[in-house]
Amino acid sequence: MKNISILVLEDEPFQRLVAVTALRKLGLERIQQAADGTEALDLLRTGGAVDIVLCDLRMAGMDGLAFLRQASLSGMVRSVILSSEVDEDLRQAASAMTRNLGLQFLGDLGKPFDMARAATLIERHRCQPAEIPAEPASVEPPCLEELLRALEQGEFEAWYQPKFHLESGASLGAEVLARWRHPSHGVLTPAHFLQALETHDLVDRLFWQLFRQGLALQQELARSGRQVNLALNLQPRQLADRDLVPAIGRALEKAGLPATGLTFELTETGLLEAPAASLESLVRLRLMGCELAMDDFGAGYSSLDRLCELPFSQLKLDAAFVRKLMSQPRSAAIIGNAVSLAEDLGMSLVVEGVETAEQRERLLALGCRVAQGYLFSRPLERDAFHALLARRSVPGLH
């Protein structure tokens, strides 16, 4: 912990002394202190970047909010701990602002200074998940000819984001994600190609390539007596195709696989005004035996209305609620109510975005049972996912 640098921003001399003394007792050696935002910015300019700012909000001169805004532009602060006596709802709003500025919010320390709580929050900084290696920023949006070549040569691959049982750690299937193994730029995520595929009306071709790869993996696993549920993303416009469900049925029959091994995920926002043909496709998928999941539940404005009208069997809780779980009590309340809602509706609930052991324990206490996130695994290519299943699957849990 001693290698972590920290800036204490507090206008009350006694409170500042208490914080600095306590941090030194925790083993921190690289500590700077400032009485207002202007002084803190000057310290950053002269002394360089810091890992953590312990920040009060209400101060004479430049207050904590203005400092955080300026510090985010400088790129010289990585993480923030709030330490303020303002009302809780104001501290929660400030924490949301901090995240929106691109800074990592470690938590709310409050006042008076709590050494044990401070140690926990500082440790949270040290245990932050490693950054994902940046993808090439210079990659230009692909043209139609490049996309067609990639589709024809099979450069798009199915990768797998595992789902896990929160308590036992057993693998419970995976979400199928698209990756492009580009001959020049390496492995690219959908941020580099999905919009171009949509523009050129090629999303359906991508879907079928991923679907066939997923079925091939299921067939291989079935030969060794194992089953795995795979979830694939469908776009609402695909549901309007009356041949979609029959084509899925034919593919399953040819592969000798049950429809119960498939889940189709749809975002609520794309189904606001679903035509009759789309609703028919959803019903037929359920009649066939497939599961339907409402993805990013809670991120839109019509979740409950869609639940009343559409035959979903699973809710996937948006990762934003988990990110705020340890800092905003309201997020915990929403997650707990989502658990109750899913149970009352006879649905399963999958929590997205679990990254820390602390989040896992809190989610278990709230009644959550199934999750995705970097705490368990990043998205894996086929062979790595196959190996993970061999290590972590538990008989009877699929």
The CATH number assigned to the domain holding 68 equals: 3.40.50.2300
Question: Does residue 398 lie in a domain region?
Answer: no
Q: Is 50 exceeded by the pLDDT of residue 358?
A: yes
Distance CA 159, CA 227 (A): 17
Q: Which of 30, 43, 24 is nearest to 3 (CA)?
A: 30
Q: Is position 22 within any domain?
A: yes
For residue 54, being part of any structural domain is answered with yes
Specify the long-range contacts of residues 109-116, CB closer than 8 Å, at least 24 apart: 109/54, 109/81, 109/82, 109/83, 110/82, 110/83, 110/84, 110/85, 111/15, 111/83, 111/84, 111/85, 112/18, 113/15, 113/18, 113/19, 113/22, 113/83, 115/22, 115/25, 115/26
pLDDT in tens, 163-180: 999 998 888 899 999 999
Q: Indicate whether 251 and 371 sit together in one domain.
A: yes
- Statement to judge: residues 90 and 181 lie in one domain: no
Average pLDDT over residues 314-336: 88
Residues 60 and 112 in one domain: yes
- The answer to whether residue 134 sits within a structural domain is no
Element (H, E) at 43: helix 37-47
Co-location of 116 and 164 in the same domain: no
pLDDT value of position 273:
56
For residue 252, being part of any structural domain is answered with yes
Residue 156 reports pLDDT greater than 90: yes
Q: Kindly state whether residues 193 and 81 are assigned to the same domain.
A: no
pLDDT digits (tens, 9 = 90+) for 375-385: 888 899 999 89
Of 95, 126, 157, the residue that ends a domain is: 126
The answer to whether the CB of 340 falls within 8 A of the CB of 371 is: no
Mean pLDDT of the chain: 86
For residues 153 and 149, what is the distance between their CA atoms, to the nearest angstrom?
Answer: 6
CATH number at residue 316: 3.20.20.450
In a domain, 162, yes or no: yes
pTM of the model: 0.69
Is 88 marked active-site? no
Indicate whether 203 and 315 sit together in one domain. yes
Instruction: Classify burial at 138, counting beta carbons within 10 Å of its beta carbon; exposed 0-12, middle 13-18, buried 19 or more.
Output: exposed
Whether 265 and 195 share a structural domain = yes
Q: In which domain, by residue range, is 371 found?
A: 144-392
Both tokens assigned to 34: 């400032």
**Measured between alpha carbons, how far is 214 from 175 in angstroms, rounded to an integer?**
10
271 with 361, same domain? Answer: yes
Q: Count how many domains the chain has.
A: 2
Is residue 155 within 8 A of residue 130, CB to CB? The reply is no
Determine which one of 352, 355, 358, 381 is catalytic: 352
Position 35 confidence tier, pLDDT thresholds 50, 70, 90: very high
Written as one string, the DSSP assignment of 362-382 is: HHHHTT--EE-STTT---B-H
Residue 48 belongs to a domain: yes
Does the pLDDT at position 24 exceed 70? Answer: yes
Find, among 242, 331, 229, the residue nearest to 285 by Cα: 242
- Cα dihedral: 349, 221, 385, 315 (round 10): -10
Q: Which helix (H) or strand (E) holds 283?
A: helix 276-288
pLDDT at 303 over 90: no
Residue 138: inside a domain, yes or no?
no
Could you tell me if 270 and 375 lie in one domain? yes
Q: d(Cα 103, Cα 226) in Å, to the nearest integer?
A: 43
**pLDDT for residue 394:** 41
| Same domain as 120, residue 154 | no
Domain boundary among 93, 126, 159: 126
Residues 18, 67, single domain; the answer is yes
Which amino acid is located at 18 in the chain?
V
Residue 350 and residue 338 in contact, taking contact as beta carbons nearer than 8 Å? no
Residue listed under structure tokens 């970047």: 49
> Which of 126, 158, 187 is a domain's end point?
126
| Same domain assignment for residues 120 and 186 | no
Q: 145 near 202, Cβ under 8 Å? A: no
- On whether the CB atoms of residues 129 and 355 are closer than 8 A, the answer is yes
pLDDT digits (tens, 9 = 90+) for 86-141: 877 777 788 878 887 888 888 888 888 888 888 888 888 776 554 444 445 456 88
